[in-house]
């Protein structure tokens, strides 16, 4: 599976830690670079290349912007955004779009057909960026988090299995459960 996480919740941090301890490749997004229009492309491409290389080796990547509310990326977020002339909403949107672009490129370069997006704003950004028109529930993965089938006019996206989850939902082992195709 491929995972992108824009969530700052403690549960998302626990899920990232669990994934790292259980064979996933975890890749931290350099948030200041993704907020800077002159550097965002380079950072998005770095993350995509490393994630695609992991998939080619049979390893599931987790790309994340922060590990919980105490992460330095969260603590310095507003100052970095202000330094670039962005308000908090614009900066948050930029991070969501960067994660969405990483996911789009990862899907275009790999045979992945099952993905997870953690974080409400990130989920909306990814779904719209991938050109998904509708979802149907395929399976319940955790309370409040179904694994869905995506419907799209784009054949590369049609039938994609995707779990869109709020950061606080699921157990620490959630990504492992999605990878294994079992309820968490």
Q: What is the pLDDT of residue 76?
A: 86
The answer to whether 103 and 131 are in contact (CB under 8 A) is no
For residue 97, the model assigns a pLDDT of: 94
Mean pLDDT score across all residues of the chain: 93
Write down the pLDDT at residue 41. 97
pTM: 0.94
Distance of alpha carbon 168 from the chain centroid: 14
Tens digit of each residue's pLDDT (9 = 90 or more) over 19-44: 999 999 999 999 999 999 999 999 99
Assess whether pLDDT exceeds 70 at residue 184. no
Among the listed residues 155, 167, 166, 111, the one whose alpha carbon sits nearest the alpha carbon of residue 130: 155
pLDDT tens sequence across 62-107: 999 999 888 888 888 988 999 999 988 899 999 999 999 999 999 9
Query: What is the DSSP annotation of 143-173?
Result: TTEEEEEEE-SSTTTTT-EEEEE-TT-S-TT
Q: Could you read off the pLDDT of 135-181 as tens digits, one per residue?
A: 999 988 888 899 999 999 999 999 999 999 998 999 999 999 999 98
Which of 62, 68, 58 lies closest to 25 in space, CA to CA?
62
């Amino acid at each position: 599976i491929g995972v992108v996480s824009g969530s700052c919740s403690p549960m998302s941090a626990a899920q990232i830690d669990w994934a790292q301890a259980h064979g996933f490749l975890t890749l931290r997004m350099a948030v200041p670079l993704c907020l800077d229009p002159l550097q965002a492309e380079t950072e998005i491409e770095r993350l995509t290349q490393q994630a695609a290389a992991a998939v080619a080796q049979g390893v599931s990547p987790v790309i994340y912007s922060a590990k919980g509310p105490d992460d330095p990326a969260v603590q310095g977020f507003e100052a970095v955004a202000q330094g670039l002339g962005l308000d908090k909403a614009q900066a948050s949107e930029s991070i969501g779009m960067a994660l969405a672009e990483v996911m789009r490129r990862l899907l275009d370069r790999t045979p992945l057909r099952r993905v997870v997006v953690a974080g409400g704003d990130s989920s909306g950004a990814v779904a719209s960026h991938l050109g998904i028109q509708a979802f149907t529930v395929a399976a319940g993965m955790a309370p409040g988090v179904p694994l869905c089938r995506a419907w799209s006019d784009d054949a590369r996206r049609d039938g994609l299995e995707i779990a869109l989850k709020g950061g606080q939902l699921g157990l620490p082992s959630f990504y492992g459960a999605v990878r294994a195709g079992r309820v968490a």
